[in-house]
Structure 1
């Protein structure tokens, strides 16, 4: 045997698994298709890396089995993540909504923690390694991989598949884990882009395009969930944190609601304006609430150049519905090229929640994004990656 385990994928889950295995005196070899480790870590948060979230629990994750991640998050907590990185000189700085970024450091420093520890523990990372075949043998697994035009072979008693999901194929994302799982008869929950911008076509396409670059703080909701954060208008539709969040819960042809003035009542504000100066225009009030460009764009739907004293009951109802119940029916999303994560993946029913070992394939473990556990925007998916990597390492 060449190692105690072979890990396929040097992303967040694979790297954490290798390091935690090292703490336990286990030797692993990581096979990585790219020429460097942690590709998605390096681009996360614009290179700053939002590496966990202070609010993370199993409640912020989408899965066919919403309880599946509880065991992993009990074994490896947010406090464990914070403590782990602090040990190696990375302290967290909270930005918004519990998001933790390295204080004075960046994503490269996060990756450096893992690569340095892998070196210290003698864990080998083989880059530019394309797995060609995996054969199960009586004493484990034989992995054939291509590197430098040659086929090479590794043997180990245990196998970890941590190859991530489908987003950002230009960075080397593949469906390796899904193909491997299907080949062995495992059930796959339907996959789709998640945390992804949404596109608008049709009669309102130009209206959204003219607002490109404008942001508005909103509450975005459907009948399952709601998020209060900024939305960003783009020349092809909508993006921004609130839209990325709701996209994970959106299904094609569905309509969702945007409250353009959360926590405030536009009717009450108009009444106050009418008392103070009934001759002022609705646009004057709107310009205090939104950008001038957004106010001008609302002329498509509302009588913004009408004096507030002249607004009829019908006008008031229209204004209320438009501001607090703005309906959006996206045409689609921007796909895996722009998605931050993948929704769906290997059915959690195929795995032990305590060990992440595959029930049908003993000594094979799946972790990270390829599993049907998808977190919210804001460091949640990294917390799942660290936790799943830790759990697998304990059981190698």
Structure 2
């Protein structure tokens, strides 16, 4: 046996698992298909890495079993994540909504923490190592991989698969974990891009395209959930934090509701304006809340050039519906190239919630994005990855 465990994937989960195993005196070898460890960490948050969220609980995660993540988050808390990084010189600075970024460092410093600790503990990270076969023997696993044109085989009693999900294939994302799970009879929850921009096609396409680059603070909702953050108009549809959030709960064919003025009542504002200055144009009132370009674009739906005093009851109702219940029916999403994470994955019923060990294959563990646990935007998915890495390290 070359190591106490082999970890496939040097992402957030795999790196944390290796470090935590090192604390426990266990020897691991990480096999990473890409050319460097932590590739997806390095590009996260525009290179700044939103590494956790102060408010993270199991409530901000989508899963076929909403209770599955509770055990991992009890074993490794947000406070543990903050303390871990502070120990190695990375102090968190809150941006918005509990999102923590390194105060005076960046994503590279996050990765350096792990690679330095792996070196200190004697944990090997083998990059450009493409796993080609896994064979389960009695009480152990044989893992074959190719590196520099040669094939090698390692034997280990414990195997960790932390190869992530399908988003950003140009960064080396693959369906390795899903293929291996299917091959071994494990159930997979249907996968789809999540935290992903949504596209608009057809007769509405030009209206969205003309607003490209404009951002509006909104409440975006469907019949499952709502989010209050900015939306961003693009040449192909909608993006921005609120849209990325709702995309994880959106299914093709569904309509999304957008409240374009969530903290005001447009009807009350109009009534107030009519009392004191009925000659005010609707566009003038709207310009107090929106960029002029957005107000001008609303001309397609609203009588923006009319004085508020002359608005009819029907027009007042139309304004209320348009501002507070703007309906959008996306044509689709931008796919895995633009998605931040994958929803779905290995069915949590196949794993122990306490250890993340596969019930049907003792000694095999799955962690991170390949499991059917998908977090909100804003550091939640990193918190899941760190927790998985810690939990798995206790068992290998």
Asked if these proteins are the same fold (TM beyond 0.5), I'd say yes
Structure 1 residue 347 and structure 2 residue 378: aligned?
no
Residue 90 of structure 1 aligns to a residue whose secondary structure is: coil
Q: Distance in 2 between matches of 1:203 and 1:134?
A: 51
TM-superposed CA distance for 1:139, in Å, is 3.6
Partner of 1:261: 261
Q: What stretches of structure 1 move > 6 A for 4+ residues in a row?
A: none
Structure 1 residue 31 and structure 2 residue 26: aligned?
no
Output the aligned Cα RMSD: 0.4
Q: Distance in 1 between matches of 2:182 and 2:85?
A: 36
TM-superposed CA distance for 1:280, in Å, is 1.2
Offset from partner CA, 1:220-278 (integer Å, 9 cap, x none) = 00111000000000000000000000000000000010000002100111111112211
CA contact (8 A) 2:139 2:363 kept: no
Partner of 1:374: 374
Offset from partner CA, 1:8-29 (integer Å, 9 cap, x none) = 0000000000000000000000
Offset from partner CA, 1:127-148 (integer Å, 9 cap, x none) = 0000010111124011110000
Offset from partner CA, 1:348-369 (integer Å, 9 cap, x none) = 0000000000000000000000
Partner of 1:194: 194
Structure 1 gaps of 5+ residues are none
Partner of 1:279: 279
TM-superposed CA distance for 1:302, in Å, is 0.2
Residue 290 of structure 1 aligns to a residue whose secondary structure is: coil
Structure 1 residue 175 and structure 2 residue 175: aligned?
yes
Structure 1 residue 207 and structure 2 residue 207: aligned?
yes
Residue 74 of structure 1 aligns to a residue whose secondary structure is: helix
Q: Distance in 2 between matches of 1:317 and 1:242?
A: 26
The number of equivalent residue pairs is 396
Q: Distance in 1 between matches of 2:294 and 2:118?
A: 52
Q: Distance in 2 between matches of 1:373 and 1:289?
A: 38
Partner of 1:228: 228
Q: TM-score, normalised by structure 2?
A: 1.00
Offset from partner CA, 1:58-101 (integer Å, 9 cap, x none) = 00000000000000000000000000000000000000000000
Offset from partner CA, 1:286-339 (integer Å, 9 cap, x none) = 111100000000000000000000001001000000000000000000000000
Q: How does 1:42-121 map to 2 (within 5 A)?
A: 42-121=42-121
Offset from partner CA, 1:97-129 (integer Å, 9 cap, x none) = 000000000000000000000000000000000
CA contact (8 A) 2:209 2:236 kept: yes
Partner of 1:293: 293
Structure 1 residue 21 and structure 2 residue 17: aligned?
no
Q: How does 1:150-161 map to 2 (within 5 A)?
A: 150-161=150-161
CA contact (8 A) 2:131 2:144 kept: yes
